[in-house]
């Protein structure tokens, strides 16, 4: 798992090779996936939403929304190609007549997409699906540049040197290890500014899957509304570790929010992220969260590679979708 986490940047760097010339008529984009397969969509959406002229939505449910039509560009992401919810999304989008793009490491979905005449982009096989984020982002960067005229690939090329330095620091402990030691046995509650909300979702997912512990994500503005500090007197707050994820430029305002709503003696940590562009800040935050989840697993003495419970859940969901019992 440590190697796969370290290799994230190697996957991202592939955005710099090859060109895409995608042509399609669409008035909105719907990114469909479950769990870690949806993280790349969340991240790209958060980074380009201010630069594109069409709405971009993320969908994590087996039933497509009613507004999907033939003008909706549907990007299907399923690492295994066997996720039944995503397979359902694909079938519905194909039936509606949507233009579709497929990202997968699974031969079944790859073959289906190819046979149906849709562009298919291969993810690296043989790794944990959540660790395919780098190569998934590299594909999406080129897809968005081709479809919407964004500058994602150019941005990735510019920020890679600083990201490699950041990776070296994280791999040797750094901020991520310090956060893990501070959080300890508490439940992480990640509250992010709007520009880093996608990163907070990634943090939650990685902590859930790698550290085998509960974690929650929300916005900084919800921190006070959630009343975490107010409930501390009843013991709940003492069991939580609010982490307020923000851009360095917003640190003062976020610290003021934390000061207003935290209870005496409660642990609240403001985590500042540097970077000149939304993509750089988001990727740096994602890398920190990935290493944080590994260090939390280490502190808890759990194996981040153990996915027995997840596989059993998937089997039961698939059986349920077929009307079977397990």
* C-beta of residue 168 within 8 angstroms of C-beta of residue 245: no
Q: For residue 322, what are the contacts with CB-CB under 8 A and spacing of at least 6?
A: none
pLDDT digit string (tens) for 179-205? 999 999 999 999 999 999 999 999 999
The whole-number average pLDDT for the span 114-134 is 93
Q: Does domain 2-155 have CATH number 3.40.50.300?
A: no
Q: Decide if 2-155 and 173-300 have a common fold.
A: yes
Q: Look at the alpha carbons of 165, 170, 174, 175 in this order and tell me if their dihedral is positive or negative.
A: positive
Does 138 score more than 80 pLDDT? Answer: yes
- Whether 153 has a pLDDT exceeding 60, the answer reads yes
3-state secondary structure of 184: coil
Per-residue pLDDT at 271 exceeds 90: yes
Domain 173-300 has CATH 3.40.250.10: no
Share of the chain above pLDDT 70, in %: 87
Per the prediction, the chain carries an average pLDDT of: 89
pTM, full prediction: 0.88
Per residue in 222-246, pLDDT (tens digit) is 886 665 555 555 566 678 899 999 9
Crossing angle, helix 133-148 and helix 152-171, to 10 degrees? 160
Residue 258's pLDDT band (cuts 50, 70, 90)? confident
Strand order in the sheet with 28-32: 56-59, 28-32, 72-78, 100-104, 120-122
Dump strand ranges (E) for the chain.
28-32, 56-59, 72-78, 100-104, 120-122, 187-192, 216-219, 240-247, 269-273
Closest by CA to 257, choosing from 219, 288, 284, 231, is 219
Each domain of the chain, given as residue ranges in start order, spans 2-155, 173-300
* Helix, coil or strand: residue 33: coil
Per-residue pLDDT at 315 exceeds 80: no
């Amino acid at each position: 798992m440590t190697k796969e986490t370290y290799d994230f940047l190697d996957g991202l760097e592939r955005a710099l090779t090859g060109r895409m010339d995608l042509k399609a008529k669409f008035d909105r984009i719907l990114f469909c996936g479950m769990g870690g397969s949806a993280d790349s969509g969340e991240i790209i959406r958060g980074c380009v939403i201010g630069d594109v002229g069409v709405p971009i939505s993320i969908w994590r449910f087996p039933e497509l929304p009613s507004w999907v039509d033939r003008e909706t560009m549907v990007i299907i992401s399923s690492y295994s190609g066997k996720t039944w919810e995503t397979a359902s999304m694909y079938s519905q989008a194909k039936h509606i007549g949507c233009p579709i793009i497929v990202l997968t490491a699974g031969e079944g979905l790859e073959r289906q997409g190819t046979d149906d005449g849709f562009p298919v982009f291969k993810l690296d096989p043989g790794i944990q699906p959540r660790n395919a984020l780098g190569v998934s982002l590299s594909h999406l960067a080129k897809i968005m540049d081709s479809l919407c005229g964004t500058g994602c690939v150019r941005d990735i090329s510019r920020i890679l040197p600083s990201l490699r330095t950041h990776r070296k620091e994280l791999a040797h402990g750094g901020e991520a290890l310090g956060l893990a030691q501070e959080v300890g046995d508490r439940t992480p509650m990640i509250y992010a500014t709007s520009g880093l909300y996608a990163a907070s979702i990634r943090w939650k997912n990685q902590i859930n899957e790698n550290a085998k512990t509960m974690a929650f994500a929300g916005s900084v503005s919800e921190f006070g509304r959630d009343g975490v500090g107010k409930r501390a007197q009843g013991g709940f707050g003492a069991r939580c570790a609010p982490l307020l994820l923000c851009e360095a430029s917003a640190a003062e305002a976020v610290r003021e929010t934390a000061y207003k709503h935290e209870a005496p003696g409660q642990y609240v940590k403001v985590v500042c992220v540097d970077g000149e562009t939304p993509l750089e800040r988001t990727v740096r935050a994602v890398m920190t969260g990935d290493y944080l989840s590994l260090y939390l697993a280490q502190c808890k003495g759990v194996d981040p590679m153990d996915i027995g419970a997840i596989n059993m859940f998937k089997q039961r969901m698939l059986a349920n979708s077929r009307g079977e019992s397990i």
